[in-house]
Amino acid sequence: MAKLFSPLKLGGHILSHRVIMAPLTRMRAVAPAYAPTDLMVEYYGQRASDGGLIITEATQISETARGGPDTPGIYTAEQVNGWQRVTQAIHGKGGITFMQLWHMGRISHSSYQPDGGAPWAPSAIAPQLEVTLPDRTRAPAETPRAFSTEEIGRLIESYVAAGKNAVAAGFDGVEIHAANGYLLEQFLQSRTNQRTDRYGGSIENRCRVVIEIADALAKALGADRVGIRLSPFGIANDSGEEEPMPLYSHLVGELNKLGLAYLHLLEPRASGAGQKDVDHQGLPSAAVLFRPLWSGVLITAGNFKGDSAEEMVAAGHADAVAFGRYFISNPDLPQRLQLGAALAPYNRPTFYSPGPEGYVDYPAMTETR
């Protein structure tokens, strides 16, 4: 584990190890504020480590970005204050933390929208799936309303405002969520973006809004405070580009010019995006394919264990590896991996359930002993 536990410069920080906590939706923020609770403060504090990076769960940039029950936001003063307590808990243990900025786009539902209207998307194309309502029941997805060109300008402003709120809450940076079939990936992919203005049609046009958001955040916060997550081969939430390489090669190349803190790639073998256990075999590695196009820090994620993570970093395909499910069930995951200790199993039915079970009740090794 020599490479996995060597220092890494990421943005303005030096990580003491390369075991990253991936962004993980947990649905523990409570209506109507959708601000972090005492339980969330405890959860993040448990998983913080000296010099370790935590990327928070996906966090809504605005009221219209919502689309999941009890998921947190970063668009009100109460939410900023709640997140301040989280960042204090992480920093108190020497940790570093970036907030993942989220807009669900067409995966939302009218029941989440403040005006009761349809959710927002690049084009009025309904996803072929069911979505989760605020009461946690399921319903067919609706046909979304398309942003006008002018409204896209306001969308970009919402991302910048959310980024500034994150910094005000004490975050060391932000990660743009442009993966897993949510709004920004909907702009990227031809099956969900059939616009005829400057934000649709060609690959250059479909990538435009993501690049403009990344550039705007880099200018507002500093490029070393901005990362981005992509899932080039993902199929989550009725997404998927028939030929991903031309699209994502252009996008990664353009983003590379901005000098961002990092690029975070979801490997195709984990393209279920947390909805079920998947381990697709015989697929290309996103990190291996896009490493030559990216000159900065590259984080990869997707069904890694300690040995496979060490191999990925040692080979130079990635600089760090993000872990999800096993960070849920092992609050001291970096220490366990370094020692080669056994990993506690996770309990999938409690991933999104309310309350402390499966959230803050997983013991650390010292507590187990």
Helix/strand/coil for 147: coil
Q: Is 182 a catalytic residue?
A: yes
Q: Flag whether 324 is in a domain.
A: no
Q: Flag whether 27 is in a domain.
A: no
Q: Flag whether 336 is in a domain.
A: no
Q: Flag whether 58 is in a domain.
A: yes
The closest alpha carbon to 54, from 323, 364, 349, 298, belongs to 323
CATH classification of the domain holding 132 = 3.20.20.70
CA–CA distance, 58 with 23 (Å, rounded to integer): 6
Q: Which domain holds residue 152?
A: 32-299
Q: Flag whether 248 is in a domain.
A: yes
First to last CA, the chain: 24
- The number of residues making up the chain comes to 369
pTM, two decimals, is 0.95
Q: Give the tokens for residue 273.
A: 């995006």
State residue 99's pLDDT score. Answer: 99
Q: What is the pLDDT of residues 198-232, one digit of tens each?
A: 999 999 999 999 999 999 999 999 999 999 999 99
Low-confidence ranges of the chain (pLDDT < 50): 272-280, 369
State residue 1's pLDDT score. Answer: 81
Q: Flag whether 4 is in a domain.
A: no
From 34, 112, 182, 352, active-site residue: 182
Q: Flag whether 14 is in a domain.
A: no
Q: Flag whether 91 is in a domain.
A: yes
- What residues contact residue 152 under an 8 Å CB cut-off, 6+ apart? 199, 209
Q: What is the pLDDT of residues 34-65, one digit of tens each?
A: 999 999 999 999 999 999 999 999 999 999 99
Please state the domain count of the chain.
1
- What residues contact residue 296 under an 8 Å CB cut-off, 6+ apart? 256, 259, 260, 261, 262, 263
The DSSP line for 170-203 is T-SEEEEEE-TTSHHHHHHSTTT----STTSSSH
State residue 271's pLDDT score. Answer: 52
State residue 276's pLDDT score. Answer: 44
CA–CA distance, 79 with 147 (Å, rounded to integer): 26
Q: Give the tokens for residue 284.
A: 């290309």
